[in-house]
Amino acid sequence: MHDKQFKKEMLAESAQAFRAGRMDRRTFLALCGASGVAMNAVLAGDAQAAADHVVMWNWGGQSEECHGSAIGEAFTAKTGKGLKFDTSGPLEGKIKEMVDSGNVTADVADADLFNAVSLGPTGHLEPIDYSVVSKEKTLPGYALEYGVSIILYGYAFVYDTEAYGDNPPQNWADFFDTEKFPGTRALYKWANGSLEAALMADGVAGSDLYPLDMDRALNKIQSIKDDSLYWGSGSEVHSMVVNNEVSMAIIWQNRGRNIENDTDGQYKLVNNQAMAMPGAYIVPKGNPAGAAVMEFIATAQDIPAQLALLDCLGMTPSNPEAFGQIPEDQQPYAITSAMNIDKIVYNDPEWWGKNGGDAVNAFLEAIS
């Protein structure tokens, strides 16, 4: 596996050198021959093309298709460069490992903005070039040195209308009130969103959440522990809800529409007090496509790309100019739509970047 990777990279690099005139044709072909592709002109061409695209590192599935149509096509039209995908999921540990090993194969990771805070200062990320990328095309505070928020996703909740149809839960306080609303809850296992929801349920105002009062949040979470399940992935909570295992669940708001459809409206999304999470693009240090990736990030900020991502993935635009153009049928599910924007609270990537690791561990210890 690594061998193949090495060959691919060597070829890509020599192809770049060849194109730039730093390597003559004969040496390039010899290198291709040495790595066993000389007889295959197609592969050599492929290696040459390696310098002509950016590689997006994301979670695959639908998002591969959607990023291709929403951003990739416009990017190719603008720059002539292609878009390829690595769908292995850019978790913080994997980014760190990739950069530390000196074997960087991705140009841009579809990650969280707090990753930019934790991985940037340790030298694992390239700074964002704000002469190409715009600080105005995202929310204030979400354009950081090592990452820029492209979309927002939210932690909202769904409830079972058959259980609480007459008197539906309105906010996090109701979510955590198992006496008034008996039934099983599902919370996010990696702490994010769950902690903030617990604090708001305990009476903290949405604007005063940070720095998080961990003890207070964990107490609140433990108070409903016997009635709680914890999910680790979007598909897991989806199946918990669809199989009626829980009567309320914290979910990523972009799943809300699918859940409402899959349950024929039995479960309903509540966006009140939803927490807006800045999903960000970050660039691993020493990325193969170099500065060209900034052009790609800038393309993703454009209004058409923003609206296309919303349409395809349910990810809410972070570019304020796009807020007003959210179509009617998407309004209930987009957390920055006119319908929801006054009800939401904002995640602080600085706090999570600095304290996230300890917070996740404390949370895991509290629930297990």
Partner 1 sequence: MQALNRHIHPGWLIIAPLMLMVVALYLGPILNILWLSVTDPEPGFSNYAKLTEGDALIRIVWTTVRICIITTLFSVIFGYSIAYAMVHCHQRQKTYMLTLLLVSFWISILVRTFAWLMLLGRKGLVNVTLEDIGLIAEPVAFMRNELGVLIGMVHYMIPYAVLPLLVSMQSIDQRVMDASRNLGASGSQTFWRVYLPMTMPGLVASTLLVFILSLGFYVTPAVLGGGKVLMVAEYISVQLLVTLKWGTAAMLAAIMLIGVLVMLWIMSRFMKLSTVFGGAAR
Binding site residues, partner 1, CB under 8 A: 91-94, 96, 118, 187, 189-190, 225, 228-232, 236, 239, 243-245, 356-358, 360-361, 364-365, 367-368
Side chain identity at residue 290, one-letter code: G
Whose Cβ is closer to partner 1: residue 121's or residue 141's? Answer: 121
Whose Cβ is closer to partner 1: residue 183's or residue 332's? Answer: 183
For the chain, report the end-to-end CA distance as a whole number of angstroms: 37
Whose Cβ is closer to partner 1: residue 87's or residue 361's? Answer: 361
**What is the rounded distance in angstroms from the CA atom of residue 241 to the CA atom of residue 301?**
33
Q: Reduced to 3 states, what is the DSSP secondary structure of residue 289?
A: coil
Whose Cβ is closer to partner 1: residue 96's or residue 257's? Answer: 96
The two tokens of residue 126 are 């390239």
Whose Cβ is closer to partner 1: residue 116's or residue 310's? Answer: 116
Whose Cβ is closer to partner 1: residue 8's or residue 94's? Answer: 94
Whose Cβ is closer to partner 1: residue 225's or residue 343's? Answer: 225
The backbone torsions φ and ψ at residue 85, rounded to the nearest 5 degrees and listed phi first, read: -125, 145
Token match 């990452």: residue? 147
Task: Output the smallest distance, CB 362 to partner 1, in A.
Answer: 9
- What are the E-state strand segments in the chain? 53-57, 82-86, 108-112, 125-126, 143-144, 147-160, 185-188, 228-231, 248-252, 267-284, 316-317, 345-346
**What is the rounded distance in angstroms from the CA atom of residue 328 to the CA atom of residue 27?**
59
Task: Output the smallest distance, CB 30 to partner 1, in A.
Answer: 29
Whose Cβ is closer to partner 1: residue 189's or residue 255's? Answer: 189
Please list, in sequence order, all residues whose beta carbon lies within 8 angstroms of the beta carbon of residue 367, skipping any fewer than 6 positions away.
187, 189, 221, 222, 225, 228, 230
- Burial string for 305-317 (b: 16+ CB within 10 Å, else e) reads bbbbbbbbbbbbb
Task: Output the smallest distance, CB 228 to partner 1, in A.
Answer: 8
Whose Cβ is closer to partner 1: residue 190's or residue 351's? Answer: 190
The two tokens of residue 189 are 């296992």
Task: Output the smallest distance, CB 321 to partner 1, in A.
Answer: 34
Q: How many CB atoms lie within 10 A of CB 333?
A: 24
* Cβ–Cβ < 8 Å for 346, 275: yes
The two tokens of residue 290 are 């170099």
Task: Output the smallest distance, CB 129 to partner 1, in A.
Answer: 26
**What is the rounded distance in angstroms from the CA atom of residue 68 to the CA atom of residue 74?**
9
Residue 112: name the closest of 360, 327, 366, 362 by CA.
Answer: 360
Side chain identity at residue 257, one-letter code: R
**What is the rounded distance in angstroms from the CA atom of residue 351 to the CA atom of residue 126?**
21
Task: Output the smallest distance, CB 272 to partner 1, in A.
Answer: 25
Whose Cβ is closer to partner 1: residue 291's or residue 364's? Answer: 364
Task: Output the smallest distance, CB 230 to partner 1, in A.
Answer: 3
Task: Output the smallest distance, CB 243 to partner 1, in A.
Answer: 5
Task: Output the smallest distance, CB 215 to partner 1, in A.
Answer: 14
Task: Output the smallest distance, CB 359 to partner 1, in A.
Answer: 9
